[in-house]
Structure formats: structure tokens, C-alpha cells
């Protein structure tokens, strides 16, 4: 290969790597959105609102609830006229931030890119609910005795896992990664 062809080949390889990282993130996000929406369709079709089905007695149930707010039902009392546009803007900002982060992440950092796909997929899954239903379908109910963690869903789970992976990757990041 000539000296002039080497930079051009490197540029093509970089472009392929940059495209590949977006494909990875979007494929991961798509799988999560599909899994999230299928589980929510199942819950909405086969369960009554507030119905609870024990899975592990005293610890875990499937409990169908609708969350009009954000995490832990924050802003649930906000008027629907403000709530849906507010959450839509928050989702657009979050998705934009994730895409910017993906853009600035090297293709070699696969775990970080997968984590971004987790967060993106979860954010899009809950956004779909807000647009379609005006609320988010939650059904995973973890509890101990009378203490209940707020109900959540597949999208919430992947957002939490993705954020956790991003935090871990930043703690264990080295200057040699690129």
C-alpha cells in the first residue's frame, strides 16, 4: 500500500468503526424496546389494573400498575397537559445526550456502547408508553414484608443496568483506552 493510500484506508476503517458502534447501540436498543413492549402488551392484555400475581411469595409479584410520573412516581400529580410534553422533552434531551456520548465513545469500548444501548432502549420503551397510553405500564413488584420497592418494568431495569455499567466503566477506565 502506498503512503498516500494508508491514511485513506485508515479513514475508511474509522468510518466503518464509527458506523458499527451506532449499529451496535441501535440493535441493543431495538431488542430492549421489543422485549419491553411485548411484556407490557402481555400485562395490559392478560391482567387487570392493580391485579397482583405472586411469583416468589413474600418477595416478588407481578402487579399491574400505571405510572403517570417519572421514577418513583415523581411529577405524577402534574397536569397531563404539562406532564406528557415535559416527559417528551426530557426523553428527547436524554436520547440526544446518549447519542452525543456514543459519538464521543471509541468503537473499541463495546461495554460502554452496550450500556448506552440499554439506556437508550429503556428510555424509548417508556417514551412509547407515555405517547400511547399517557402513562407507563409497570408490573415488576419487589417487596419484603410490608416494604415495597416502587413497581418497575423491563425498560426501567435496562436503564438502571445501563447506568450502572456506565458508572462502573468510568470508575475502571484507564487512559490507555481509545
Annotated catalytic residues are: 138, 156
107: nearest Cα among 14, 12, 7: 14
Backbone angles phi, psi at 14, to 5 degrees: -65, -40
Neighbours of 56 (CB within 10 A): 9
Report how far residue 113's alpha carbon sits from residue 24's, in angstroms, rounded to the nearest whole number: 7
What is the bridge-based pairing of β-strands 60-67 and 52-56?
A: antiparallel
Dihedral through CA 172, CA 119, CA 117, CA 84, nearest 10? -160
Following CA atoms 19, 22, 166, 96 in sequence, which dihedral angle do they give, to the nearest 10 degrees? 120
Sheet holding 136-144, edge to edge: 52-56, 60-67, 136-144, 147-148
Residue 108 to residue 131: CA distance in whole angstroms: 35
Amino acid at each position: 500500500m502506498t503512503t498516500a493510500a494508508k491514511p485513506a484506508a485508515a479513514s475508511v476503517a474509522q468510518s466503518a468503526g464509527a458506523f458499527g458502534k451506532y449499529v451496535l447501540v441501535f440493535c441493543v436498543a431495538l431488542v430492549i424496546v421489543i422485549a419491553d413492549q411485548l411484556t407490557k402488551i402481555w400485562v395490559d392484555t392478560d391482567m387487570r389494573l392493580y391485579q397482583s400475581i405472586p411469583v416468589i411469595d413474600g418477595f416478588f409479584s407481578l402487579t399491574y400498575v400505571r405510572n403517570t410520573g417519572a421514577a418513583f412516581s415523581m411529577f405524577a400529580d402534574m397536569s397531563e397537559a404539562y406532564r406528557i410534553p415535559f416527559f417528551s422533552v426530557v426523553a428527547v434531551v436524554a436520547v440526544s445526550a446518549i447519542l452525543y456520548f456514543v459519538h464521543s465513545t471509541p468503537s473499541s469500548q463495546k461495554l460502554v456502547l452496550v450500556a448506552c444501548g440499554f439506556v437508550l432502549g429503556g428510555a424509548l420503551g417508556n417514551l412509547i408508553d407515555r405517547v400511547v397510553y399517557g402513562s407507563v405500564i409497570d408490573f415488576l413488584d419487589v417487596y419484603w414484608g410490608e416494604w415495597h420497592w416502587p413497581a418497575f418494568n423491563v425498560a426501567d431495569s435496562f436503564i438502571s443496568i445501563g447506568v450502572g455499567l456506565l458508572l462502573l466503566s468510568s470508575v475502571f477506565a484507564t487512559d490507555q483506552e481509545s
